[in-house]
């Protein structure tokens, strides 16, 4: 009786709302599910798929090599639902699972215990087909012929699995699964476990198949001919965030007269094997934080002593998926549909992965092919010189001629050979051992606090990581100022504050109001998910805070500023913010005017309706109806088959007797 009570208590926490009480006796619904979904591009589908009515399998925990043999060959109760320990989530094991017919699905335990020294599910050569290097441009550098950027990449994110793969992030939920396995499925002295066995069912049926071309064709057919159209997939889309030191007229598209612009850029997104999981600390957050600190350091000086050139800061969304944001911006520039065009661009400085410097030098990467042109070469060398002016931080360029790392700058180079540099903490291949994976979190960035600090104290404590990034930000800010033609005498006023950096670092760590760090996956944008991704909004508001001015407009004026003659909706955007909380909890809202804007980040392939495009990103995400998981017991096939046999017995007897009722009862 007590055993049963224990079980009821452990499982009772996990049953969701079920309809009937018999159903409640059978199923334990798992609430915290993190699936792997299907993504499609012009030619392939990647990700995971389950059957339409879910995939069921007997649970087995994969902890040792003998477990692997049991699952793949010797176990008597296939198909199995594998609970995979962290150490076994690698390419060789997953490929063996993929090729086996005895695996119904995989649930991966995500934890730091047993984590290998490196894990990157991305490819070894990110975005190799949509960068600048191709057969016609630097063919000896294309496809990572010279330098392999992500040698630790195992390409798992780009494989196509025909069974569902879920991630188990919640420790309590994993404990429930382990308990069920230990109670029913454990092998005793090597012999097979007896029925009834614990089983799990995973639902993650994806509607889209084959590739984007097929999926968009079917969606178009649905939209045209069906009364209730069923959309099968959506293009990945969101917004880029941009701002400039001198406001640009947003309604005047095309070439901006008398504007020479230095672009400072970084990326805003990341990804991992699982859906909407992308902590991307070293891959993305380090760049965002550095650029924000740069803006904070640079902005006041550019208002007091404006340099001749404008400085344009841009955060590109969707760079993990073949440069969605930067290709869209370049496309708009070439079509004269943006505030500036390629003729306005003087040079570019991009901030790549800069978080794992750990006291060493920073590297400046440039494109050797465009530098074959003398004038471009001189410009780039000048730009490098401006970066090397400061002795407290060493900056080097790679000794051998190697291509640019994957960066938004490559898309600008495809349009025009402009001088530019990419800053990174790596010389040849990435120092990030967890590139585009779920383990690229604050711990990977070595953000550590001394023990015993309260959360408020942590908010202002200057970690080593913060100080390191602040140094990079100072360097970038000063060199941008020089690049824009500013005078050297103002340089000492440009310093990034590590306190600001450490506060911004909190966008990479868990917070009270939300369960876990923010995720940087691009998502599906305004049509599907509402206004803009939370991270995009967050960066937009921080920029407005750093670069904007407080006005004394009322709320209605703030929302319709064109009615006032002193305000200019073309040059600025207006935000009605709720303000800081005062002592007694009330807030005084006010209107902020800033030159921060969002620009649409959807691949030009979807505007041009070229779904099979080789030049632009064609990534779409499939739609689905329900994604859930549940566990229960299954009985043996013998028991199942025995019941119809019983029926046969009763039926034959019945027929005999009923036919004879008249004889028995006639009087």
Partner 1 sequence: MTLAVFFGCAFIAFGPSFALFVFTIAKDPLRVIILIAGAFFWLLSLLLSSLVWFIAIKASNSQDLTLQRGLLIFGVFFSVLLQEVFRFAYYRLLRKATEGLAAISDDDGSAISVRQMAYVAGLGFGIMSGAFSMINILSDSLGPGTVGIFGDSQYYFITAALMTLALTLLHTFWGVVFFEGCEKSRWWVIAAVVSLHLLVAGLSLLNPLYEGSLPPVYVITLATGVWAFFSSGGSLHSLSALCTRRKAEGESS
Helical packing angle, 498-505 and 464-483, nearest 10°: 120
Alpha helix segments (H runs only) across 63-199: 65-69, 91-99, 171-180
Which letter, b or e, does each residue of 586-623 get, where b requires 16 or more Cβ atoms within 10 Å of its Cβ?
eeeebbbbbbbbbbbbbbbbbeeebbebebbbbbbbbb
- Of residues 132 through 191, those in contact with partner 1 by CB under 8 A are 180
Distance CA 490, CA 493 (A): 6
For the bound state, the minimum distance from the C-beta of residue 132 to partner 1, rounded and expressed in Å, comes to 52
> Judged by CB under 8 A, does residue 583 bind partner 1?
no
Q: Which of 11, 137, 158, 590 binds partner 1 (CB under 8 A)?
A: 11
Q: Which of 17, 22, 257, 609 binds partner 1 (CB under 8 A)?
A: 22
Q: Which stretch binds partner 1 (CB under 8 A): 192-200, 262-270, 414-422, 570-578?
A: 192-200
Binding mask 55-94 for partner 1 (x = CB under 8 A): -x--------------------------------------
Binding mask 590-629 for partner 1 (x = CB under 8 A): ----------------------------------------
Residues in the interface with partner 1 (CB under 8 A) total 45
For the bound state, the minimum distance from the C-beta of residue 546 to partner 1, rounded and expressed in Å, comes to 54
> Judged by CB under 8 A, does residue 635 bind partner 1?
yes
Q: Which of 167, 198, 262, 465 binds partner 1 (CB under 8 A)?
A: 198
Q: Which of 13, 25, 162, 579 binds partner 1 (CB under 8 A)?
A: 25
- For partner 1, the closer CB: 103 or 295: 103
> Judged by CB under 8 A, does residue 28 bind partner 1?
yes
DSSP, res 443: T
Is 392:323 a contact under the CB 8 Å cutoff?
A: no
- For partner 1, the closer CB: 584 or 643: 643
Q: Which of 155, 196, 306, 398 binds partner 1 (CB under 8 A)?
A: 196
DSSP, res 581: B
- For partner 1, the closer CB: 417 or 630: 630
- Of residues 389 through 448, those in contact with partner 1 by CB under 8 A are none
For the bound state, the minimum distance from the C-beta of residue 83 to partner 1, rounded and expressed in Å, comes to 16
Q: Which of 199, 256, 404, 494 binds partner 1 (CB under 8 A)?
A: 199
Length of the chain: 667
Binding mask 636-665 for partner 1 (x = CB under 8 A): ---xxxxxx-xx--xx--xx--xxxx-xxx
Cα distances (Å, whole numbers) of residue 179 to 59, 168, 176, 196: 11, 15, 5, 15
> Judged by CB under 8 A, does residue 52 bind partner 1?
no
For the bound state, the minimum distance from the C-beta of residue 77 to partner 1, rounded and expressed in Å, comes to 14
Q: Return the number of other C-beta atoms located less than 10 Å from residue 246's C-beta.
A: 16
For the bound state, the minimum distance from the C-beta of residue 645 to partner 1, rounded and expressed in Å, comes to 8
Distance CA 430, CA 229 (A): 45
- For partner 1, the closer CB: 28 or 40: 28
> Judged by CB under 8 A, does residue 20 bind partner 1?
yes
Cα distances (Å, whole numbers) of residue 335 to 132, 254, 409, 609, 613: 19, 8, 18, 16, 18
The DSSP H or E segment spanning 511 is none
**Among residues 595, 596, 613, which one has the least CA distance to residue 604?**
613
For strands 590-594 and 362-365, give the pairing: unpaired
For the bound state, the minimum distance from the C-beta of residue 148 to partner 1, rounded and expressed in Å, comes to 46
- For partner 1, the closer CB: 177 or 248: 177
Helical packing angle, 2-12 and 171-180, nearest 10°: 140
Binding mask 275-304 for partner 1 (x = CB under 8 A): ------------------------------
For the bound state, the minimum distance from the C-beta of residue 580 to partner 1, rounded and expressed in Å, comes to 45
For the bound state, the minimum distance from the C-beta of residue 657 to partner 1, rounded and expressed in Å, comes to 9
For strands 624-634 and 197-206, give the pairing: antiparallel
**Among residues 549, 572, 476, 491, which one has the least CA distance to residue 302?**
491
- For partner 1, the closer CB: 210 or 636: 636
- For partner 1, the closer CB: 15 or 128: 15
Distance CA 344, CA 595 (A): 18
Q: Which stretch binds partner 1 (CB under 8 A): 2-10, 59-67, 107-115, 310-318?
A: 2-10
Is 522:269 a contact under the CB 8 Å cutoff?
A: yes
Is 284:520 a contact under the CB 8 Å cutoff?
A: yes
Peptide bond into 79 cis (omega under 30): yes
For strands 624-634 and 237-244, give the pairing: unpaired
Binding region for partner 1 (CB under 8 A): 3-4, 7-8, 11, 20, 22-23, 25-28, 54, 56, 180, 196, 198-199, 201, 630-635, 639-644, 646-647, 650-651, 654-655, 658-661, 663-665, 667
């Amino acid at each position: 009786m007590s055993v049963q009570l224990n079980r009821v208590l452990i499982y009772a926490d996990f049953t969701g709302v079920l309809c009937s009480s018999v159903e409640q006796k059978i199923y334990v619904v798992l609430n915290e599910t993190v699936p792997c979904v299907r993504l499609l591009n012009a030619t392939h589908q990647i990700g995971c798929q389950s059957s339409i009515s879910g995939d069921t399998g007997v649970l087995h925990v994969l902890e040792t090599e003998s477990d692997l043999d049991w699952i793949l060959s010797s176990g008597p109760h296939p198909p199995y639902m594998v609970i995979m320990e962290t150490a076994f989530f690698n390419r060789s094991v997953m490929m063996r699972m993929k090729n086996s017919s005895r695996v119904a699905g995989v649930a991966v335990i995500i934890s730091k215990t047993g984590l290998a020294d490196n894990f990157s599910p991305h490819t070894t050569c990110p975005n190799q087909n949509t960068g600048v290097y191709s057969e016609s441009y630097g063919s000896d550098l294309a496809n990572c012929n010279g330098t392999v950027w992500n040698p630790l990449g195992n390409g798992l994110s780009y494989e196509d699995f025909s069974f569902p793969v879920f991630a188990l992030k919640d420790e309590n939920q994993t404990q429930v699964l382990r308990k069920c396995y230990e109670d029913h499925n454990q092998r005793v002295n090597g012999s097979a476990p007896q029925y009834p066995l614990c089983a799990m069912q995973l639902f993650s049926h994806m509607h889209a198949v084959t590739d984007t071309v097929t999926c968009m064709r079917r969606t178009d057919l649905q939209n045209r001919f069906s009364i209730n159209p069923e959309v099968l997939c959506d293009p990945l889309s969101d917004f880029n965030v941009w701002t400039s030191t001198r406001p640009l007229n947003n309604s005047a598209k095309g070439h901006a007269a008398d504007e020479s612009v230095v672009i400072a850029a970084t990326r805003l997104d990341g990804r991992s094997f699982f859906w909407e999981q992308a902590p991307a600390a070293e891959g993305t957050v380090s760049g965002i934080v550095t650029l924000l600190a740069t803006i904070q350091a640079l902005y006041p000086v550019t208002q007091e002593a404006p340099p001749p050139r404008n400085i344009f800061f841009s955060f590109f969304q969707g760079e993990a998926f073949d440069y969605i944001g930067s290709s869209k911006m370049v496309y708009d520039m070439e079509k004269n549909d943006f505030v500036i065009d390629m003729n306005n661009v003087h040079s570019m400085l991009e901030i790549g992965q800069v978080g794992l410097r750990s006291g060493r030098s920073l590297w400046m990467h440039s494109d050797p092919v465009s530098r074959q042109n003398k004038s471009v070469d001189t410009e780039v060398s000048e730009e490098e010189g401006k970066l090397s002016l400061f002795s407290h931080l060493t900056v080097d360029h790679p000794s051998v001629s190697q291509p640019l790392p994957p960066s938004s700058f490559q898309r600008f180079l495809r349009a025009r050979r402009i001088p530019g540099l990419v800053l990174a903490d790596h010389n040849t291949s990435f120092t990030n051992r967890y590139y585009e994976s779920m383990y690229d979190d604050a711990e990977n960035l070595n953000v550590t606090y001394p023990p015993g600090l309260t959360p408020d104290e942590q908010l202002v404590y200057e970690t080593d990581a913060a100080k390191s990034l602040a140094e990079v930000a100072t360097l970038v800010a000063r060199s941008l100022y020089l690049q824009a033609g500013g005078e050297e005498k103002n340089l000492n006023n440009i310093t990034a504050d590590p306190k600001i950096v450490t506060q911004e670092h909190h966008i990479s760590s868990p917070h009270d109001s939300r369960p876990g760090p923010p995720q940087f996956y691009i998502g599906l944008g305004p049509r599907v998910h509402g206004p803009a991704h939370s991270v995009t909004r967050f960066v937009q508001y921080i920029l407005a805070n750093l670069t904007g001015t407080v006005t004394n407009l009322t709320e209605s004026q703030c929302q319709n500023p064109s009615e006032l003659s002193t305000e200019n909706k073309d040059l600025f955007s207006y935000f009605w913010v709720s303000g800081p909380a005062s002592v007694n909890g009330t807030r005084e809202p006010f209107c902020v005017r800033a030159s921060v804007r969002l620009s649409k980040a959807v691949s030009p392939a979807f505007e041009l309706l070229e779904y099979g495009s080789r030049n632009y990103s064609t990534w779409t995400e499939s739609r689905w109806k329900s994604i859930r998981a549940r566990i229960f017991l299954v009985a043996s096939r013998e028991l199942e088959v025995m019941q119809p046999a019983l029926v046969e017995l009763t039926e034959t007897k019945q027929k005999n007797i009923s036919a004879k009722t008249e004889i028995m009862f006639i009087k």
